């Protein structure tokens, strides 16, 4: 049997968006919008996605098969304070193998006509299957995609 390891890490990412906390928050609450922006890469895309956005509700993502297998995420929302804060925990999997378990907090802070989003994650990465640097990078890419989604929503059709 290989050696079991647990690597603990935490990180914080801040982003500024030129729209109100209510609009940024809505991009997390709306399952159609969230599905568009919440993946950190395009290859393979999402095979399955569900969002039950309420305290005690679940969010699940399962990617289409790719070269490294099938990635999946399962989250539960612990606290939702509209337009102000989200607290949830989530697990990441590859081919049903648990890679990590995390606690995440998002704070939506009004700054003038915009929003400062503060994301803090505390995680344990299991048995060397994932690492904190890759998670932080992927999360940052997701927040870049959120900026694109907010810009898309602001553009009249």
CATH number at residue 70: 3.30.530.20
User: Average pLDDT, whole number, for the chain?
Assistant: 92
Cα gap 105→118, rounded to integer Å = 8
Burial 109-148 (b: 16+ CB within 10 A, else e): eeeeebbbbebebebebbeeebebeebbeebeebbebbbe
The SS3 of residue 96 is coil
97: domain range? 6-154
- 144-148-150-151 Cα dihedral, nearest 10 degrees: 140
Give the model's pLDDT for residue 47.
79
Give the model's pLDDT for residue 1.
47
Give the model's pLDDT for residue 66.
80
What would the pLDDT profile of 26-50 be if each residue is shown by its tens digit?
Answer: 999 999 999 989 876 555 566 789 9
pTM of the model: 0.91
Q: How many helices (H) and strands (E) does the chain have?
A: 3, 7
Q: What is the DSSP letter of 82?
A: T
User: Worst-scoring range by mean pLDDT, 78-87, 98-107, 148-157?
Assistant: 148-157
Cα gap 27→21, rounded to integer Å = 10
- Domains contained in the chain, number: 1
pLDDT band for 58, please (50, 70, 90 cuts).
very high
Residue of higher predicted confidence among 91 and 70: 91
Q: Is residue 1 part of a domain?
A: no
Q: Is residue 36 part of a domain?
A: yes
Cα gap 133→111, rounded to integer Å = 29
Q: Is residue 23 part of a domain?
A: yes
């Amino acid at each position: 049997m290989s050696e079991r390891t647990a690597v603990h890490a935490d990180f914080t990412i801040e982003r500024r968006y030129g729209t109100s906390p209510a609009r940024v928050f809505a991009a997390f609450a709306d399952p159609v919008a969230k599905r568009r922006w919440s993946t950190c890469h395009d290859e393979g895309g999402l095979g399955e996605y569900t969002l039950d956005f309420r305290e005690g509700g679940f969010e699940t993502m399962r990617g289409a098969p790719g070269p490294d297998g099938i990635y999946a995420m399962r989250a539960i929302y612990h606290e939702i304070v509209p337009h102000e804060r989200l607290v949830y925990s989530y697990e990441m999997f590859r081919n049903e193998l648990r890679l990590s378990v995390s606690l995440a907090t998002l704070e939506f802070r009004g700054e003038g006509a915009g929003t400062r989003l503060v994301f803090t994650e505390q995680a344990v990465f299991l048995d060397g299957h994932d690492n904190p640097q890759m998670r932080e990078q992927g999360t940052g890419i997701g927040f870049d995609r959120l900026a694109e989604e907010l810009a898309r929503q602001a553009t009249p059709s």
